[in-house]
Amino acid sequence: MSSTATATRTDDAQVNIAEVDVTKVRRTNRMPGEKPLGLARILAFLALGFIALLWLLPMLWAIVTSFKTETDAASGGLELIGPNGVTTQAYEAILAEGNVYVWALNSLWTSAVITLITVTISALAAYAFSRLDFKGSRWIFLAIIASIIVPPQALIIPLYYQMLTFNMVDTYWGLILPQVVMAPIIFILKKFFDAVPAELEDAARVDGAGRLRVFFSVVLPLSRPILGAVSIFVFIQAWNNFLWPFLIINDTTLMTLPVGLQTVLSAYGIQYSQVMAQAVLAALPLVIVFLFYQRQIVKGVATTGFGGQ
């Protein structure tokens, strides 16, 4: 009886303690282990919110201006809705006068091809530098890293003459091939492959797997997070590239979206509402990509150091 009574009192005490803990959590509205919302954290959140608002203001202003008439946009007023109300004339003009759907498709498939070729070449090269000890590998890798400091604009004229020699001006391959070699991607993947345990590859070779089989069956599956991160960044860079497609493509049916939209605006002079509509249309696919892959993008910024791009 005494032992039963003791057990009952113990259970009642535990229930009371649990109820007290739950009451404390509800009263403080804070999960166990969560830090209290002090003044420093409140100020930090306010500062971050202010910075985010400053970053969003140009985007919001572009969206608002794109839905104004040209008269309201040119007047320079700060009102969200102009005197003439909300209109989609800017979007209708751009969609009517230009081959926007063709340009968007060109941007989509050229960016996808550039991403596929770039990641494939970079992964193979990085794995070779990481695992193969061939003559001159160190110096070749140093030369690749040194090429990062060369500004891309300095290579425009040599690349153009090279494409002209190969009769690739005004072709998709003339647009794609000069963009498929990226030294930073090789460097990042090489550093990742260096961290992959060699014992896993040794075990696969004991089972009779060759070098390429080890690469495709062991190393690449382990590299999916980093490959996904660099693929997203390569795709975004290829989509946003304006200078090289502008120089190499003259045929309007082969133009990418940023270049094609610019030709529409140039034909009609400066029209502010259409300029903003062009910016919104050009950025919309990248916004969609970010919404679907924001976790991979954030992880990529943290692991690859691409935050400045």
pLDDT of residue 279: 80
**Co-location of 44 and 95 in the same domain:** no
Q: How far is CA 244 from the centre of its chain?
A: 20
Residue 101: inside a domain: yes
Residue 22: inside a domain: no
H or E segment and range at residue 140: helix 137-146
pLDDT of residue 299: 66
Contact (CB, 8 A) for 228 and 236: no
**Co-location of 71 and 148 in the same domain:** no
**Co-location of 74 and 103 in the same domain:** no
Give 210-247 pLDDT, tens digit per residue: 788 888 888 888 888 888 888 888 988 899 898 999 99
Residue 2: inside a domain: no
Q: Which two tokens stand for residue 195?
A: 């961290």
Q: Which of 146, 134, 145 is nearest to 190 (CA)?
A: 145
Residue ending a domain, choose from 26, 53, 87: 87
Provide, rounded to the nearest whole percent, the portion of the chain with pLDDT above 90. Answer: 16
**Co-location of 266 and 165 in the same domain:** yes
Q: Which CATH number characterizes residue 100's domain?
A: 1.10.3720.10
Residue 72: inside a domain: yes
pLDDT of residue 30: 53
**Co-location of 119 and 106 in the same domain:** yes
Give the pLDDT band (50/70/90) at residue 29: low
Selected residue with higher pLDDT from 99 and 129 = 129
Flag whether pLDDT at 267 surpasses 80: no
**Co-location of 129 and 185 in the same domain:** yes
157-186: average pLDDT: 91
**Co-location of 166 and 75 in the same domain:** no
Contact (CB, 8 A) for 281 and 94: yes
**3-class SS at 30?**
coil
Distance, in Å, from the CA atom of 111 to the CA atom of 115, rounded to the nearest integer, reads 6
Q: Which of 96, 62, 86 is nearest to 273 (CA)?
A: 62
Domain range enclosing 136: 91-304
**Co-location of 56 and 111 in the same domain:** no
**Co-location of 102 and 63 in the same domain:** no
Flag whether pLDDT at 305 surpasses 70: no
Flag whether pLDDT at 173 surpasses 90: yes
Distance, in Å, from the CA atom of 147 to the CA atom of 141, rounded to the nearest integer, reads 10
Selected residue with higher pLDDT from 295 and 185 = 185
Residue 11: inside a domain: no
Give the pLDDT band (50/70/90) at residue 193: confident
pLDDT of residue 270: 67
User: Which residue's entry shows tokens 């971050």?
Assistant: 48
Give 31-65 pLDDT, tens digit per residue: 555 556 677 888 888 898 889 888 888 888 888 88
Residues 6+ apart with CB under 8 A from 258: 107, 240, 241, 242, 245, 282
Q: Which of 144, 289, 303 is nearest to 226 (CA)?
A: 303
pLDDT of residue 123: 92
159-164: average pLDDT: 92
**Co-location of 60 and 186 in the same domain:** no
pLDDT of residue 176: 93
Residue 33: inside a domain: no
Q: How many other β-carbons are positioned within 10 Å of the β-carbon of residue 153? A: 9
Residue ending a domain, choose from 87, 115, 144: 87
**Co-location of 108 and 70 in the same domain:** no
**Co-location of 244 and 97 in the same domain:** yes
Residue ending a domain, choose from 66, 87, 108: 87
Residue 12: inside a domain: no
Distance, in Å, from the CA atom of 304 to the CA atom of 229, rounded to the nearest integer, reads 8
Residue 107: inside a domain: yes
121-148: average pLDDT: 88
Number of domains in the chain: 2
Give the pLDDT band (50/70/90) at residue 15: very low
